[in-house]
Amino acid sequence: MEYDPSIIIEEHPDVYPPSEDSILLIESLDVREGERILEVGCGSGVVSIHCARNGCSVVSVDINPFAVELTRANYGLNGLVGDVRESDVYSNVNGRFDTIVFNLPYLPTEDDIGPISKAWDGGPDGMGPLPELLEKSSDHLLPDGRVVVVVSSLMDKDALDRTLSGLDVKVLGELPLFFEVLRVLEIRGSS
């Protein structure tokens, strides 16, 4: 999918804005018309809106109520109506999807500066909600479904390797930055 700079995305001080990792995720994600997509941690809604504009049926969720409001507003600014809900990972999610996508909080830190810190604070190992996302994904994926996430070289490599052990993992995109390398991973059940 191509990043479309003409899509209107308003920002909010308590919501993670579209950044290099968002664009990497969008440009690494191949979607097809009619695909059912769940975006966990939708933030501003930029990924969800790109998917919807490409003909996908999208459910967008975030734990941050400001992100939920902002994503709804951004859908409207782009002439779209979205199914946007407040949810802690899968807590308010029903149904099954072809793709679950999450630009997850991957920085190894323990910031607590309000709702926005949940957008990057992956805890001491940087894993954040990734283990929960993967453990419960089979309850929310259609047959042959996939999980697509952004990970960072700053995450604890051993913890990441343990979490991905036994899964079929493919690198869809990579972005070297000054202090880290970001990767978009496609993860499927046991290979």
For residue 85, list its beta bridge partners. 61
Residue 110: predicted pLDDT: 63
Lowest model confidence (mean pLDDT) among 7-16, 103-112, 132-141? 103-112
Strand order in the sheet with 167-176: 83-86, 57-62, 36-40, 97-102, 141-152, 181-190, 167-176
The overall pTM is greater than 0.75 = yes
Domains, in order of start, for the chain: 20-190 (3.40.50.150)
For residue 139, list its beta bridge partners. none
Residue 191: predicted pLDDT: 42
Give the residue ranges of DSSP H helices in 32-183: 46-53, 65-77, 130-135, 157-164
Report pLDDT digits (tens) over 123-148: 556 577 888 999 999 999 999 999 99
Residue 120: predicted pLDDT: 45
Closest listed residue to residue 161, CA positions, set 122, 123, 119, 130: 130
Q: Bin 140: left if φ > 0, else alpha if -120 < ψ < 50, else beta.
A: alpha
H or E, element range at 145: strand 141-152
Report pLDDT digits (tens) over 43-72: 999 999 999 999 999 999 999 999 999 999
Using DSSP, state whether 92 is helix, strand or coil. coil
Residue 16: predicted pLDDT: 87
Q: How confident is the model at residue 180 (pLDDT cuts 50, 70, 90)?
A: confident
Q: How confident is the model at residue 102 (pLDDT cuts 50, 70, 90)?
A: very high
Report pLDDT digits (tens) over 68-92: 999 999 999 999 989 999 999 999 9
